Amino acid sequence: MKNIVPMTLILLMFASVFANTAWIEMNENEIDGAADGRADDDVGILGILEPRATKIDTQTGEMRNTVKAGNEVNFIVAVKNYGTNAVTEMNIVASIFLEDGTTATDSSGNALTWTDAVICDDLNACQISSLAAGSYLSGGSYAVRNSLGADIAWTPELGSYTILISLEVPSGDENIQNDEFAVDITVVDWYDLAVDLEWDSGADQAEGAGPHAFTMTVSTDGSVSWEPRNVSIDLMITGAALDTAIDADGNNISGTTTIEAGNLETVEIFFNESAPCDPGNDTIMGTADDGPCDSRNGNASRSVIHYQDSWTFTGSVTPDSNADGAYQVEAALRSYVLFGGGFDCQETGEISVDSGPDGIEGNEDDTRETVTFFNMCEVEVYTDDNNSNNEDMITGFVGSFHNIALTSLSIAQGFDSMGGGEPTSLRGDGDEISVGFSRLFALVEHRGSPATGPYNWSVDFVVHDVFDNQTVATYSADECVYGEPSDYSHQELGAEMPAELLGIACQSHDFGSGSYKVTATVSMIDSANPDESSIDDSESVTVEARNNLPIIDLTLTTEGDIIVGDMISFEVSAFDAEDVDGTSLTYAWSRVTTESTSVEIPECSGFPDDPATPEDESTKGTSSCTVAVDNTWATTLPVTVKVTDPHGGEASDSESVKVWNRHRAEATAADGAVSISYDLTYLAISTFSITTSDSNPITGILLGNSEEGADSVYVIDYAPSTTYMAEDTGSHSLSITFPGSSTEDYSLWYQYPGQNWTLLDGAAEQDGSTNMTLEWNNNSSPVLSNGLLGIFNAAAGDGAVPANGVTNAIGVPMANGLIAVQWTLSGDGLVGLLDKDRVQVCSTTNEIETCTSVAKDATQHLLVGASHGQVFTGTVSVVNINGANPNVATFTATADAEVSPAPTTTFGAIENGSTAWTFTITTADSGDATKLHVCWKDSTYEASQLTPDDLSCQEMDIADGSVDITKPSVTSETVYHFSIFAEDGSGNVVALSDTTTQTRYGELDDPGAGEGTLDDDKSGTTDVPTWTWGVIIGIVVVAFGIGAFILSRGGEGGEGKEWDY
């Protein structure tokens, strides 16, 4: 029977601790540092502790930290308040996403998303009322809960998932970059074979004379159905007090007996996909017609245990009645067989893909190809996905039996680096543990006959490095006074007071990364009666110790612009799963200089430890760093902190820091009488300088909005060593000191070559008794480019922008893609504007901006060169040399360069009136058109090459169904060719495809009658005299007579008549 009682006892001893302590085993993830300074309100997620992210082992290629399908998953997170204010309201949202990015759902179709209202002022609704500045939520380990207040328990199916934990902070969060954290997990199938031994009596230990019957049970479990075959179990029955051991059939099973578990069944044992045993001619792929049958194909008898079923084996042992001593029955999984299409079943071989020139398959001229055959076969396996239940042991004794046993060995973790705090996890054989401080716990018991004892005892611990195959530590312990809810002091083992049945030994050990086998062995100390059973004196566990890297977050805490000469401060928040308080971490700070070299920041970094002063913590460096900035910090360069734990685990974070260079350039002019100083803050490494020289004086110039001419006092040709764009320029000022009087008006102006003069400073200040100073300050524009600096003995005017602006602006689409920008002036319009005020139209299209200034009295500006559908956005403002009036109007317009879509219009019936044709026009789809032009010409033409201006046309509305066109006057028969043009609201015109024609006959004048028609389409009136009508009638009568005579000559019957003319 399994050691349920001792394990239960030790778990109960830990239970009260685990219920109130944080689970601090962290994932191997890093948090990107935020770019801003430490905020008043800033709460963030350090990491997701459970489930751990699934990783691929770089050495073996195997996945670790997988989740077993069907096992419940809880969400444990580490949350910290980085800010200076308490968090008073916060929700935690947990969401599960599938591999394709969609939200996972449960079997009912509900989204797998939960919201946990963890912090609020109503403790009936929330668990916590506030989270203090610098504090961890629940000590750094918080189990996310559902709306009912229970821990979220998700039972995943097979697949890959992303777990996203995010924060909602209604009370305020200035840095949302650390409000989300995600891990990717893989859920895998699992298979389990369990071996269990029990005395049929139900006793933990058999006593006295026998026989004692026992039962071994082998059972299967897993996430999916599977059927192990030929499960091989080693049954080992040994002991000095043993007389006989037999199975249910009376066979001797003393010593070691290999038993095959399962019930015999006939099952398939091999299948070759390329050569199945399927006789007959058919057209089915993968049948015997593809090749000869593989002789390995077929079935055989195997011992099988079905999924979630069990198989039992019974036996009994009889001790020697004359002996005193112990015996034991052990069972251990040896191997089993699986049938499937695994890698071990694959084979490679050649097949013929072309019979060659002779057309006969199998000859040497065949083209052959090597392929892989994915067969089904049996493979022997030696382990399953849960090794902890692959073996079991039961014991018994007879007579007076002296025995103590070590029944449990475990490793407790969760302490800080100095061993303080309480354990938060208990690990056993096959588990992963964290590196760092741990405690080895061994549970010992009195296992002898009731009257034996008491025994003094001690436990020896051995820690062996599996990889290096060497022992790294040995310890002896007989009590446990640390890390337990109640301390255990050493007592002897025995069944009678003051001895105790159970004892605990513990020993601290600092694990490094690697694989370790920990063995604990209990021994009697100075006992008159030696331990008569050594088989239960030892336990071993093998664990994989992995170093969880520190999780860090570097923040620049200095606010505002940083300029050479300032102090700069950083702070790094570091969290290490193996050291909650972080006392064992060391910090190394570095930065990249303007010469692209990385240098240490010695003021903040640790330095080699001095053995003479082991208590000196300064060797570890500091988590905060404040240093002075010199010109080697200039421009945007990274600062990096590397945090290292005692086991070599490192985590780095960098922060790009923008440091402004600053330089004051000096120059003179007018033989030194004028001093020019340019104080520039800029984002570059190079030194800034200026050059100046005298330029020709200027007289009578109109400056700004002044209506009077001004004369220069000094004109200086100025040039900087380099210029910087606005984004690379901070605050800068230009100061000029010159001889002058405080009773005069001076102003400082600047002219870029070919441009107007711009006012820099309009108010001079006295500098000493004989000098004046003019100064220009700016924080937003680029460095002043080369040009002229002019000091004028004139007031700078009022320096005002135009008195009126623009109240509204529109862009009106016109034909051929033109856009007419139109506007209305504000205030009293033109009345309040000066001569130099202009209207400026700025338009942007395709990310290109164009500005044009027009006269102040203009009301429209055309944007040209646009393609159909091109969108323009822009502004219209009134400007002068001092800037723009704040009333600026915006517009948006789309160019219209074509009738799109064109209408579907055709000619219908044409009514032929006396003076006009009435054309029926049928429009099935008007498209973009608003009106039509029915056009004509007395010769053929290609409408698409003309416009209505080239033809005679009649305009009609697109909605009209017909149009009247007056018939042209002609003197001879004329054919008119008609076509249709469509026009849209912007004036664009397009020729449509349908055409038609009409014929017009010539007109004749009749001065006698002047009226009367010759046909429906009046050809004209005649000028024939009245007397001629008689002559015409006579001729007609004679013609009729002649015709009748001719016809009478052919009046004889028959077909053979001859005609006589």
CB 828 within 8 A of CB 802: no
Both structure tokens of 558? 């200095």
Model pLDDT, residue 795: 64
Q: Is the per-residue pLDDT at 812 higher than 90?
A: yes
Q: What is the mean pLDDT of the chain?
A: 84
The answer, yes or no, to whether residue 715 has pLDDT greater than 80, is yes
Mark whether 925 and 882 lie in a shared domain.
Answer: no
Number of DSSP helices (H) and strands (E) in the chain, helices first: 2, 67
Residue 717: which of 667, 767, 771, 665 has the closest Cα?
667
Say what the pLDDT of residue 481 is.
84
CA distance 880 to 837: 5
Question: How far apart (Å, rounded) are the C-alpha atoms in residues 516 and 431?
Answer: 11
Residue 693 and residue 644 in one domain: no
In this prediction, residue 65 carries a pLDDT of 83
Is 1057 inside any structural domain?
no
907-933 per-position pLDDT tens digit: 999 999 989 999 999 999 999 999 999
Confidence of residue 23 (pLDDT cuts 50, 70, 90): very low
At residue 717, φ and ψ (nearest 5 deg) are -85, 115
Confidence of residue 352 (pLDDT cuts 50, 70, 90): low
Higher pLDDT, 303 or 367: 303
Pick the range with the lowest mean pLDDT from 335-339, 395-399, 709-713, 895-899. 395-399
**Structure tokens of 928?**
């973009």
Structure tokens at 741: 């009087």
Rounded to 5 degrees, φ, ψ at 1044 are -65, -40
Angle at the Cα of 838 from the Cα atoms of 832 and 844, rounded to 5 degrees: 130
Burial 644-677 (b: 16+ CB within 10 A, else e): bbbbebebbbbbebebbbbbebebebbeeebbbb
pLDDT at 713 over 60: yes
Q: In a 3-state reduction of DSSP, which class is residue 790?
A: strand
State yes or no: pLDDT of 569 exceeds 50.
yes
Q: Are residues 458 and 515 in the same domain?
A: yes
Tell whether the model's pLDDT for residue 164 goes beyond 50: yes
Query: Is the confidence at residue 581, as pLDDT, over 60?
Result: yes
Specify the amino acid at residue 202.
Answer: G
Query: How far apart are the C-alpha atoms of 557 and 579, rounded to whole Å?
Result: 25
Do residues 676 and 736 make contact, with C-beta atoms less than 8 angstroms apart? yes
CA proximity to 723, closest of 780, 779, 673, 786:
786
Query: Mind giving me the DSSP string for 90-144?
Result: EEEEEEEEETTSPBPB-TTS-B-EEEEEEE-S-TTT-SBS-B-TTPBGGGG-EE-
Is residue 1014 domain-resident? no
**pLDDT tens for each residue of 954-1003:** 999 999 999 999 999 888 899 999 999 999 998 999 999 999 999 988 75
Partners of residue 875 on adjacent β-strands: 842, 890
For 592-639, how does the pLDDT look when each residue is reduced to its tens digit (9 = 90+)? 999 899 999 999 998 766 555 555 555 789 999 999 999 999 999 999
Residue 1051 lies in a domain: no
Percentages of the chain per state (helix, strand, coil), in multiples of 5: 5, 50, 45
Q: What is the dihedral of CA 1034, 1040, 1041, 1045, to 10 degrees?
A: 160
Query: How confident is the model over 35-75, as pLDDT tens digits?
Result: 344 568 899 988 888 888 888 876 677 788 889 998 899 99
Q: Which of 1000, 1019, 1052 is the last residue of a domain?
A: 1000
The answer as to whether 577 is a domain residue is yes
Q: 867 and 755, same structural domain?
A: no
pLDDT surpasses 50 at 32: no
Here the tokens at position 684 are 């570059």
Do 538 and 560 have their domain in common? no
Examine the domain organization and report whether 568 and 497 are in the same domain.
no
Statement to judge: residues 404 and 375 lie in one domain? no
**537: in domain:** yes
Total domains, the chain = 7
Q: For residue 1006, is pLDDT > 80?
A: no
d(CA 678, CA 751): 17
- pLDDT for 5 equals 43
At 279, is the pLDDT very low, low, confident or very high (cuts 50, 70, 90)?
Answer: low
Domain boundary among 157, 190, 223: 190
Q: Are 891 and 855 in contact (CB under 8 A)?
A: no
Q: Is the pTM of the predicted complex or chain greater than 0.85?
A: no
Three-class DSSP category at 964: strand
Are the CB atoms for 151 and 70 separated by under 8 Å? no
Does residue 351 surpass a pLDDT of 90?
no
Query: Is 45 inside any structural domain?
Result: yes
Instruction: Give yes or no for a contact between 270 and 228, defined as CB atoms under 8 angstroms apart.
Output: no
Q: What is the 3-state secondary structure (H, E, C) of 803-817?
A: CCCEEEEEEEECHHH
pLDDT of 387 strictly over 90: no
Rounded (5°) CA angle 460-462-464: 175
The predicted structure's pLDDT at residue 348: 82
Task: Based on the fold, state whether residues 648 and 715 are members of the same structural domain.
Answer: no
CA atoms within 13 A on the CB side of 586: 18
- Residue 560 shares a structural domain with residue 537: no
- Residues 551 and 178: beta-carbon distance below 8 Å: no
pLDDT band with cut points at 50, 70 and 90 for residue 361: low
Whole-angstrom CA distances from 520 to 391, 483, 504, 1001 are 18, 19, 12, 127
Tokens encoding 353: 């893909």
DSSP for 547-563 reads -PPPEEEEEE---S-EE
Residue 832: per-residue pLDDT: 79
pLDDT, position 762: 76
Tally Cβ neighbours within 10 Å of residue 210: 20
Domain around 495: 399-546
Domain final position from 792, 814, 843: 792
Percent of the chain whose pLDDT exceeds 90: 54
For residue 3, is it within any domain? Answer: no
* Residue 652 located in a structural domain: yes
> Do 726 and 786 fall within a single domain?
yes
CB 989 within 8 Å of CB 930: no
**CA–CA distance from 817 to each of 886, 981, 987 (Å)?**
31, 18, 10
Residue 617 sits in a domain whose CATH number is 2.60.40.10
3-state secondary structure 634-690: CEEEEEEEEEECCCCCEEEEEEEEEEEEEEEEEEEECCCCEEEEEEEEECCCCCCCE
Look at residue 330 and give its three-state secondary structure.
strand
Q: Please give, one letter per residue, the 3-state secondary structure of 331-357.
A: EEEEEEEEEECCHHHEEEEEEEEECCC
Measured CA distances, 442 to 123, 153, 871, 967 (Å) = 42, 32, 79, 120
Residues 6+ apart with CB under 8 A from 629: 562, 563, 564, 565, 566, 567, 568, 659
- Residue 1023: exposed, middle, or buried by beta-carbon count in 10 A (0-12, 13-18, 19+)? exposed
Query: 58-64 contacts: CB < 8 A, separation 24 or more?
Result: 63/186, 63/188, 64/432
- Number of residues that make up the chain: 1061
pLDDT at 1: 46
Mean pLDDT of 796-816: 84
Residue 661 CA: distances (Å) to CA of 561, 567, 569, 590, 690: 11, 14, 18, 20, 16
Query: In this model, does residue 378 exceed pLDDT 60?
Result: yes
What's the rounded Cα separation, in Å, for the pair 139 and 78? 8
pLDDT at 290: 52
Q: 753 pLDDT band (50/70/90 cuts)?
A: very high
Cβ atoms of 136 and 78 closer than 8 Å: yes
| Residues 499-532 pLDDT 10s | 999 999 999 999 988 899 999 999 999 988 888 8
Q: Is residue 533 located within the same domain as residue 560? A: no
Q: Is 1043 exposed, middle or buried (0-12, 13-18, 19+ CB in 10 A)?
A: exposed
- What local confidence, expressed as pLDDT, does residue 882 receive? 74
Angstrom distance (rounded) from CA 503 to CA 492: 8
Spell 887-896 as b/e; 16+ CB within 10 A means b.
bbbebebebb
- Digit-coded pLDDT (tens) for 126-143: 989 999 998 888 877 889
Answer yes or no: do 632 and 652 share one domain.
yes
Q: 139, 146, 131: which is closest to 75 by C-alpha?
A: 146
Distances (CA, A) of 214 to 79, 258, 263: 53, 17, 20
Nearest residue to 289 via CA among 276, 270, 302: 276
Residues 542, 398: Cα–Cα separation, whole Å: 34
- In this structure, are residues 520 and 509 in contact, taking their beta carbons and an 8 Å threshold? no
Cα–Cα distance measured from residue 984 to residue 933, given in angstroms and rounded to the nearest whole number: 11
Q: Which two tokens stand for residue 244?
A: 């006989």
Percentage above 70 pLDDT, the chain? 85
pLDDT above 90 (res 347): no
